[in-house]
Amino acid sequence: MSDIIAELKQKAQKKYKKVVFPESYDERVLQAAAIILREKIAQVILLGAPARIKELADKAGAEIAAAEIIDPKNYARTEELANLYYARRKHKGATLDEAQKLMTEDPVFAGAGLVGIGAADCMVCGCITATAKVIKSALFCVGMQKNISLVSSYFMMVSPDKSFGENGVLFFADCAVNPDPDAAQLADIAKCTADSMRQIIGARARIALLSFSTKGSAAHPAVEKITKALQIVKEKYPELDIDGELQADAALIPAVGRLKAPGSAIAGQANTLIFPDLNAGNIGYKLVQRFGKAEAIGPVLQGLAKPVNDLSRGCSAQDIVNTVIITELQTGE
């Protein structure tokens, strides 16, 4: 476990929130649950048939006696889950019978529903479920933060060069979800990522809206999108410390920032990088990870009313534990 995850784990242990796992028949989830319970990182809800979960846990050598096991087929609040889904989706033609069937038979939607009704604080899912379904369940059962238009994601990049960001920690967004956000969506991504930085590491975000241009050095519609995003942020979120458009070196290197963007409070000092689109974001974080030897933690979803996070299909039990730590820190007090 890296130093930063160890620090975040201590914060999560103090919160001690309730996380629900819909994929309780997966050995990695059961092993992760055992670690989480043993180290008192969070309270755990496992969804599924109790006898099968216990049998699989025994085979995996995972001690889960302290977990709460909920079988959606015999859950006292299933009607409440169905009513939640129906209320949110009836305008799209959903019926109450369909909602009842979904919440009884689909653990992913049932898990998101538990978060929606407050029976769980957060959900971690995705080791055997497609990302699109994880996000859909969250949108339908949990919903969005007020005034935020989209679900986005960030990576917490931990660089061995401590001169960057916050002692080597930078937040990159959006590197995993939105292919081509418009200016208004970029503004919301900036807001969500600033909130995420405060929640996770307790630092104030210094946000750079990245481009191939710095302060008018190039003229192009792609640059205009960034300058428009900056204008929207300043009007909608005036409390944020943000500047753009900035090239990556102008955002990160003080000498370059002074040269290319004199007078900017962000140039050369950024700890939060907002990429113009998914091409740039995904390529950017992977280059920093591979060439820069940075640890990439994520992607972490943001913008939802309550935290739900996706897992890689190839994740390990420890990856799941790390995701739970981050997810727990996204919850309210």
* CATH number attached to the domain at 152-298: 3.40.50.10750
Q: How many CB atoms within 10 Å of residue 187?
A: 26
Question: Identity (one letter) of the amino acid at 148?
Answer: I
- Please give the pLDDT value at position 333: 64
Candidates 3.40.640.10, 3.20.10.10, 3.40.50.10950, 2.50.20.10; CATH matching 3-143+305-329: 3.40.50.10950
pLDDT (tens digit per residue) in 128-182: 999 999 999 999 999 999 999 999 999 999 999 999 999 999 999 999 999 999 9
pLDDT (tens digit per residue) in 210-266: 999 999 888 899 999 999 999 999 999 999 999 989 999 999 999 999 999 999 999
Strand partners, 301: 153
Task: Report residue 173: phi and psi, to 5°.
Answer: -150, 155
Distance of CA 306 to the CA centre of its chain: 10
Burial status of residue 290 (CB atoms within 10 A of its CB: 0-12, 13-18, 19 or more): exposed
Helix axes 78-89, 96-105, angle to 10 degrees: 130
Domain ranges of the chain: 3-143+305-329, 152-298
Query: End-to-end CA distance of the chain, in Å?
Result: 25
Does residue 201 have a pLDDT over 80? yes
pLDDT (tens digit per residue) in 259-308: 999 999 999 999 999 999 999 999 999 999 999 999 999 899 999 999 99
3-143+305-329 and 152-298 in the same fold? yes
